[in-house]
Chains A and B, each alone.
Chain A
Amino acid sequence: MTVRKRLLGVLADAALILYFVFALFPIAWMVILSLKPANQLFSTYFSFTPTLGSYRTVLGDSEGIPFVRFFVNSLVVSVGAVALSLLVGLPAAYASARWRFKGSENLMFTLLSFRFAPELTVIIPLFVLYQKLGLFDTYVGMIWVLQLVTLPLIVWIMRSYFADLTPELEQAALLDGYTRKQAFFKVALPLVKPGVAAVSLLAFIFAWNNFVFPLILTSNEAQTVTVGALSFLGGDRPKYNLTAAAALVSVVPPLLLALTIQRYLVRGLSFGAVKS
């Protein structure tokens, strides 16, 4: 029995390692690509003369692509988008979880459905609109349009989370003389903190990785890293080494964020899919 159990354990670990080989190999390969000199990109696999030249090129703003500025832009618009979504999304999620008011289900569902709307539907009209309103190529414009990505995710998941939270705690607080507002901020919100952290991370990643909106709705001022990373590909030769370096550099902020809230990530997403 114990031998069998141990064997199964080994098998399970082996299966896990197999998946992670699949999951991590492309990233390892990107690291290798980013360290290869351009003339060895396609002629060697694992033996090459490593160089940090690609990173120097990307971060040194050469090749006519101001990558560092794009990086800052990405930070501003992604953080801004998530913050705005939290600001308006948390009260909405709370309200719709605590009060079953008329149309709340439909409203929530419609909100969710935007998450799944094809970007192409809005991109041309939005472009015309942004040009007219002066939102083209601005942080405000990007933060606004990224609500399509971040808001539904935050509202939808946080709503389940609040619903799973028993209302008795807040009621007790109300009896203790707390106002509704205090009950929300002092009782409900701290309890859902892991959820907020986890969902913010996911929203941040999706906002950070968005490609179509910054491609069409920004030019030099508010362009983001995802579009910027691809700019290295063209030119005289396909420079996968530069694209890989740029992509890896742009993984750093979401990665740091993920590491910071690591302990919340899985726990935080154990949101109440099961609500009463």
Chain B
Amino acid sequence: MDTHAHDRRHFLALTAGAAATPLLAACGAGFGGNDDKGGGSAADDVTGSFDWKREKGGTVKALLNKHPYTDALIADLKSFTAQTGIRVEYDVFPEDNYFDKLTVDLSSGRASYDVFMLGAYMVWQYGPPGWLEDLGPWMRNSSATGDEWDRADFFPNLLQADQWSLKDGAPLGRGGQYALPWGWETNVVAYNTEVFSKLGLRPAESFDELREIAGVIKRKAPGAGYDGMYGIAVRGSRSWATIHPGFMTMYARNGLRDFTVDGGKLKPAMNTPEAVAFTRDWAGMVKQGGPPSWTSYTWYQCSSDLGAKKAGMLFDADTAAYFQAVKGASPASGKIAFHPGPKGPDGSLATNMWIWSLGMNAKSKKKSASWLFLQWATGKEHLRRAAVTGNHIDPVRKSVSQDAAYKDKMRHLPGFIETFETVVDQTKIQFTPQAQFFDATTSWAAALQEIYGGQNARSVLNGLAGDLAAKVD
């Protein structure tokens, strides 16, 4: 009600032209803030018995990132429309720009998209300003959610990863459900079996071994018929995305933390003596066995090097290796095997993950239809189809991961299913949830690059911790 007057006033200011800018000060228009702080969830309006057809004739607008999981979803959309009578309009944007697009869209406070893809880390950014609908009330309302959705079928770590109380440092798995896990990626080691057998190597069981093997491959593989091959591909660009796959997984397996939380206060822990030693070793591994021009490496370079037989190993998302490993995809197809990767000193296989999740815009005017879409997209039927006929390779549901047809499909990749099953229970978000995640991890990546470039690890990481302490405070 108030928003109408708001809009009209804004429009008047606008038509008055450039000179009217100061007028804006009076009405405070232009910010995308969340101004409707009404209590209660729209989920409470859904009553009666559950009905897929309850929003028949409606439309839902989705923002999607270009991804094999997305392709599988789009291919199956007609069954959603058939089941519910709801049409889905969607935009697909490239990964490099997807989150820019989503961020600007959400920050404007408009509901241009009802549903969208996001990662668990984005919940920490989009959740606190109130841009994400809490899906908890929808899940709990048996009028809105069918029995077959079966919440208990999700791997619990995944469901918890999108659940948070919106307080920096507070653990995941409590508070609102701000997104639903839909597809995910574990970070494990993939290796070229041909090179390994030729050089008489076995997958590393400890970080020391991993560093050694990486160096051995770089020294010996080029002489064994693998021109220009190096040991291990890991990301290295100046981006948050460098920290979260291999690096964070190994970091966590060494029992290290990004932040410690003391009495609700966050304290950076990247500069503890153990963390400094680990980081130095990681940079050393890259120097001795990593890719040339490492500081420009994103997953594009990492995965294409594995496929082109330029990298002996890849410590990254299993999907990055999978799509090089499948038949006919690359010269290394058929020669790529999976392994959980090195254990920590205490045998830990703690693994960090990326979860493509689906979230709902808190400003959406079509929440009930949107919820039906989310329910369908994360439901057993679609996810099974996507896993068996599409390329939805890491199932978020236990039932799909145990499905015979899915297992059959994955069996030809040596070690894939075994690796998945070994790490799945120890795979979770290894970061401390906090709103400055992207700033912290981007600076962390820059620090890693400086250490790789020869600077003193302790002083670089002390500097990083000092900067971050001020920011997360």
For residue A107, CB closer than 8 A to chain B, the reply is no
A276 contacts partner chain B, Cβ-Cβ < 8 Å: no
- What is the total number of residues of chain B having a CB less than 8 Å from a CB of chain A? 50
Contacts of B52 in A (CB 8 A): none
B426 within 8 A of A: no
Task: Say which one of A146-154, A176-184, A227-235 lies at the interface with B.
Answer: A227-235
Chain A, Cβ-Cβ closest to B92: A64
A231 near B92 (CB under 8 angstroms)?
A: yes
B192 near A: Cβ within 8 Å? no
Q: Is the CB of B11 within 8 A of A132?
A: yes
- Chain B residues closer than 8 Å to A128, beta-carbon distance: 30-32, 108-110
Would A39 and B108 be within 8 Å (CB), given that A129-B14, A235-B67 are in contact? no
Our pick among A43, A216, A234 for the contact of B95 (Cβ within 8 Å) is A234
CB proximity to A under 8 Å, residues B281-309: 300, 303-305, 307-309
- B104, A42: Cβ atoms under 8 Å? no
Residue contact A64 to B110, C-beta cutoff 8 Å: no
B437 at the interface (CB under 8 A from A): no
Chain B residues with Cβ below 8 Å from A125 are 30
The size bracket of the interface on A is 20 to 34
Q: A125-B30, A234-B65, A237-B303 are in contact. Are A38 and B104 (CB under 8 A)?
A: no
Query: Which A residues are CB-close (under 8 A) to B319?
Result: 236
**Hey, which chain A residues are within 8 Å of B107, CB to CB?**
124
**Assuming the A-B contacts A123-B104, A128-B30, are A235 and B91 also in contact, with contact meaning beta carbons closer than 8 angstroms in the complex?**
no
User: Which residues on A sit within 8 Å (CB–CB) of B333?
Assistant: 39
Using A230-B96, A233-B94 as known contacts, say yes or no to A124 and B66 having CB atoms under 8 A apart. no
User: Quick check: is A270 within 8 A (CB to CB) of the other chain?
Assistant: no
Known: A43-B309, A233-B94. A216 touches B11 (CB 8 A): no
Q: Which of A43, A64, A232, A233 contacts B308 (CB 8 A)?
A: A43
Q: Which chain A residues lie closer than 8 Å to B171 at the CB level?
A: none
A127-B104, A131-B108 given; A237·B307 CB < 8 A: yes
Whether A39 lies near B68 (C-beta < 8 A) is: no
Tell whether, in the assembled complex, residue B14 and residue A233 are in contact, meaning their CB atoms are under 8 Å apart. Answer: no
Which residues of chain A have C-beta atoms less than 8 A from B93's C-beta?
227, 231
B91 A219 Cβ-Cβ under 8 A: yes
Chain A residues 37-84 with CB under 8 Å of chain B are 38-39, 41-43, 63-65
Q: Are the CB atoms of A39 and B67 closer together than 8 Å?
A: no
Q: CB-defined interface of B297-340 with A at 8 Å, one 1/0 digit per residue?
A: 00010011101111000000001000110001111010000000
User: CB distance B324 to A237 under 8 Å?
Assistant: yes
* A28 lies within 8 A of chain B by Cβ: no
CB distance from B316 to the nearest CB of A (A): 13
**Most chain A Cβ neighbours within 10 Å, of B32, B104, B324, B328:** B104
- Interface flag for A91 (CB, 8 Å): no
Shortest B125–chain A CB gap in Å is: 15
Q: Is the CB of B328 within 8 A of A227?
A: no
Q: How far is the CB of A148 from chain B (nearest CB, A)?
A: 14
Q: Decide if A238 is an interface residue (CB 8 Å cutoff).
A: yes
Give the complex CA separation of A136 and B111 in angstroms. Answer: 12
Of B67, B89, B303, which is within 8 A of A220 by CB?
B89
Chain B residue contacts of A230, Cβ below 8 A? 94, 96-97
Shortest distance from the beta carbon of A19 to any chain B beta carbon, whole Å? 26
CB pair A39 B104 closer than 8 Å: no
Contact A38 B329 (CB under 8 A): yes
Interface: A133 (CB within 8 A): yes
Query: Which residues of chain B from 71 to 111 have any CB-CB distance to chain A below 8 Å in the complex?
Result: 71, 74, 89-97, 100-101, 104-105, 107-110
Residues A225-276 near B (CB distance < 8 A): 227, 230-238
Q: From residue A61, how far is it (CB to closest CB) to chain B in Å?
A: 12
Q: Is A191 an interface residue (CB 8 A)?
A: no
Interchain CA distance A145-B7 in the complex, whole Å: 22
B61 to chain A: closest residue by CB: A219
Alpha-carbon distance A237/B71, docked complex (angstroms): 13
Q: Quick check: A237 and B10 within 8 Å, CB to CB?
A: no
* B110 A131 Cβ-Cβ under 8 A: yes
- Measured in the bound complex, the distance between the Cα atoms of B109 and A129 in whole Å is 12
Contacts beyond the supplied A127-B104, A227-B97: 12 A-B pairs with Cβ under 8 Å:
A64-B70, A124-B108, A131-B112, A132-B11, A136-B112, A219-B91, A220-B91, A232-B66, A233-B94, A235-B68, A235-B95, A238-B300
Rank and list the top 9 A-B pairs by shortest CB-CB distance, nearest first: A42-B308, A234-B95, A236-B323, A238-B300, A234-B66, A236-B68, A43-B331, A231-B94, A219-B91
CB<8 Å pairs between A and B, sample of 11: A39-B330, A43-B308, A129-B14, A131-B112, A132-B14, A219-B63, A220-B89, A227-B97, A232-B94, A237-B304, A238-B304
Which residues of A does B touch, CB under 8 Å? 38-39, 41-43, 63-65, 123-125, 127-129, 131-133, 136, 215-216, 219-220, 223, 227, 230-238
